[in-house]
Structure 1
Amino acid sequence: MNKWLFLFTCSIFTASAFAQEQSLRELYAKPQHDWPAIISSKDVPAAPLKPLKAKPINQSDEIIALGEKLFNDTRLSRDNTVSCASCHESRLAFSDRRKLAVGIDGQVGTRNTQAIIGIDHWQSFFWDGRAKTAAQQALMPIENPIEMGSSVELVLNKINRAEDYKKPILNAFGKEALNKELLALSLVAFERTFDVPESLFTRFIDKAQTSPSEAVALLDDQQLEGLHLFRTKARCMTCHEGALLSDNEFHVTGLHFYGRKLQDLGRFDATQDSADIGKFRTPSLLALQQSTPWMHHGGFQSLLGIVNFYNAGGARPKPRKKFKDDPNYPQTTELLHKLELSKDEKNALIAFLETL
């Protein structure tokens, strides 16, 4: 090729790329309602991105302090070795960075510990949604034979007899002893004080509410392209929407291992409805970096693995042998599609996910 023609062609290519870059940056420098339309696989519009704000806390400082003491107390377990904080560490967005949760006697559970984020925004709790309220959730680990292996009655007997609890209980409730309801209320009061860890994304989405041009300046070009892909071609907001970055729903992504050694029936465990076999609650993506590894089985330790998984349209296992005609064999949700993201697009999407 002629040298000058080559240089001319390169300059056109560079100018075109620059124009596209500028166009994308200009689009996201506008108020969010003027951003490119969200693309998802659902019929209903996805909720726009916005800061996660806790609802006003209506419990006293004394109740919150009591909840903090209880949350960190190993006496809530049968053998006084495990507390709520054992699996929910404050430095890790109240998760534990283990593949699977570990309880009393070193017993390993079957699911990954979820971060405690925005408890007022969830419609259910646990990967299978077996708790409908935060108060229900707070007490369940106490009686789980793998987690704390005790009972609420035994825990109340221990706490109410302990000298170091007499004053905190009196200060919090004007009573000499806790009951089941007050135990749950105290734990939840403390959990409601947990803030989403500050990240580049939280700074960006906060600033986007008042000054979009300043907000978009916080992201480099690759992160900005990743945000755009998250909202459009990659269809991430099909399930990861709104302030919580979760749709509060349950889906089959294909990671149920039905009929195999690692089988996990998901939401079925809570509902006993065969239609729920293999479904898991959509986790929040907030504090993503602190809550690795990911998925209900903790099987993903890299964002590239996650992106490749969804780029392929999720897992679509085929029933084998005796399960070939099983009417209950879980079918991967139709919300997942092959995305055909290029290598550069996958890298951009990862760059955005790393801001969370």
Structure 2
Amino acid sequence: MKNILSLVVLIGCLFIASQLFVTSGVSTEWSSRQIDLLKSLSLSALPKLEIDPSNSVAEDRAAAEFGHTLFFDVRLSGDNTIACATCHQPKKMFTDGLPLAAGTKVGPRHTPSLVGLAYSPWFYWDGRKDSQWAQALAPLETSHEHNTNRLEIARLIDGDKYYSETYSILFGNLPEIPQSPKGASPAGNIELKNAWDSLNEKQQFLITEVFANVGKALAAYQRKIMPGRGRFDNYVDALDEDRDPAGESLTSEEVAGLALFIGKAQCVTCHNGPLLTNNEFHNTGVLPITGQLPSMGRYDGVRFARADPFNCLGKYSDANPKDCLELTFANDTNDLVGAQKTPTLRNIKETAPYMHGGQLKTLLEVVNHYNEAPVSLLSHNESKPLGLSAAELQRLEAFMNTLSAPLATEEKWLNPP
């Protein structure tokens, strides 16, 4: 009788536990279709980084070392205080932890992470640049970022022994750099533009070519910055290898969040692939940045990209026009009004605050935003209300915390040279 009673109690406990398991939304029973989807999200599925045809030194280690030095050099700013690493800090996953980037002044946008960014065909929140080297150039001449100009940068390369020697090895002999005017650029203020106009056409081309090559070296370095495997990747690999994923350190709460991520919450619609981004642009109804008008987003961005002298089709690009299909056939329809680029979710816990203006401080605020799907002030919000409970939102957040991991990058690239 005692044994029967014990058996009844045991069965009762197992029943209660099973009900708790079911009602919590947790299940480790994935269908084959779900497993295939999960495998596509693992870093094990990350393909080899494609060659950038517009940058002939993209894979050159000497160019990466050159770019590495440039990345940490504050002399690439007008007042010798700002380096690329000022906003893209390695210890913060190459972000700065601020709502809006702060160079020589506070800027209008949040600093995106550089981790895995080399896989993207577009750069900036609105995709106004179509290569990593073209993107690297813009902050140098932007007044609230580095606030310098291409003539002074060319002069820096020419006047520094390591820079000039390395440049000559990579790109050929440096041209003669004018010692006056002090600074000049077609992208600067009136004074800099007038100084630029005082130079002849050949001088303008040669100075800009040096400037473009600086961007190409910076891009060669940034291609080294890659995400590392996290607990999520180990969990998926266990599923793929028919091992028990329970031993791969995802909690039941995190597994429940993963199920929501690829299911009811629809996160995977945009956050897909091994880097958990489709590298596309979407209007998700994010409120405008305080003190700014609503951003036109990708609608303007694609037009900026086409007009950019450093784009894939430009004279400073190393690409053949047939290699520039992304730019040639870029969508520019009205539904891109207000659309911003989908960021990677790799190391998302470490890259707060969020959105293009740092409008949302926490991951919980982000998932709640998508749950509510507010009306967009420009065009329309592509997302729809999800009807997730508070507990489900917490599970989503718990899952996204599993995407954190040390970078898969040589230690030397993470520190100043």
TM-score, normalised by the number of residues in structure 1: 0.80
- Aligned residues, how many? 326
Residues 118 and 222 in structure 2, CA contact (< 8 A), matched pair in contact too: no
Q: CA deviation at 1:198?
A: 4.5
Structure 1 match to 2:135:
137
Relative distance call for 1:23 and 1:203 in structure 2 (3 A) is closer
Relative distance call for 1:115 and 1:23 in structure 2 (3 A) is closer
Relative distance call for 1:96 and 1:258 in structure 2 (3 A) is closer
Structure 2 match to 1:342:
389
Q: CA deviation at 1:50?
A: 2.5
Q: CA deviation at 1:47?
A: 9.5
Secondary structure in 1 matching 2:344: coil
1:55 paired residue among 41, 49, 59 = 49
* CA distance in structure 2 between the aligned counterparts of 1:11 and 1:289, rounded to whole angstroms: 35
1:316 paired residue among 375, 380, 390 = 375
Aligned counterparts, 1:242-257, within 5 A? 242-257=273-288
Structure 1 match to 2:215:
184
* CA distance in structure 1 between the aligned counterparts of 2:237 and 2:223, rounded to whole angstroms: 20
Structure 2 match to 1:322:
none
Residues 246 and 284 in structure 1, CA contact (< 8 A), matched pair in contact too: yes
Structure 1 match to 2:379:
330
Q: CA deviation at 1:101?
A: 0.3
Q: CA deviation at 1:229?
A: 0.7
Secondary structure in 1 matching 2:70: helix
User: Is 1:27 matched up with 2:19?
Assistant: no
Relative distance call for 1:6 and 1:214 in structure 2 (3 A) is closer
Secondary structure in 2 matching 1:35: helix
Q: CA deviation at 1:125?
A: 0.6
Residues 62 and 171 in structure 1, CA contact (< 8 A), matched pair in contact too: no
Structure 2 match to 1:100:
100
* CA distance in structure 1 between the aligned counterparts of 2:93 and 2:263, rounded to whole angstroms: 28
* CA distance in structure 1 between the aligned counterparts of 2:39 and 2:254, rounded to whole angstroms: 21
Relative distance call for 1:202 and 1:74 in structure 2 (3 A) is farther
Letter in 2 for 1:343: A
Residues 123 and 129 in structure 2, CA contact (< 8 A), matched pair in contact too: yes
Task: For residues 269-327 of structure 1, give each alpha carbon's deviation from its aligned partner in whole angstroms, at most 9, with x where no partner exists.
Answer: 32466543211011111110221111111021212111111111x22156xxxxxxxxx
Residues 277 and 344 in structure 2, CA contact (< 8 A), matched pair in contact too: yes
* CA distance in structure 2 between the aligned counterparts of 1:70 and 1:117, rounded to whole angstroms: 18
Relative distance call for 1:303 and 1:114 in structure 2 (3 A) is same
Q: CA deviation at 1:267?
A: 2.1
Q: CA deviation at 1:211?
A: 5.4
- Structure 2 unaligned residues grouped into runs of 5+: 1-7, 52-57, 176-208, 304-331, 404-417
Secondary structure in 1 matching 2:259: helix
Secondary structure in 1 matching 2:86: helix
Q: Which moved more, 1:63-72 or 1:203-212?
A: 203-212
Aligned counterparts, 1:12-23, within 5 A? 12-18=15-21
Percent of aligned positions that are identical = 31
Q: Which moved more, 1:73-82 or 1:177-186?
A: 177-186
Aligned counterparts, 1:214-293, within 5 A? 214=245, 217-257=248-288, 261-271=292-302, 275-293=335-353
- Structure 1 unaligned residues grouped into runs of 5+: 39-45, 319-328
Structure 2 match to 1:152:
150
Determine which structure has more spread, i.e. the larger CA radius of gyration. Answer: 2
2:357 paired residue among 288, 297, 301 = 297
* CA distance in structure 1 between the aligned counterparts of 2:138 and 2:39, rounded to whole angstroms: 31
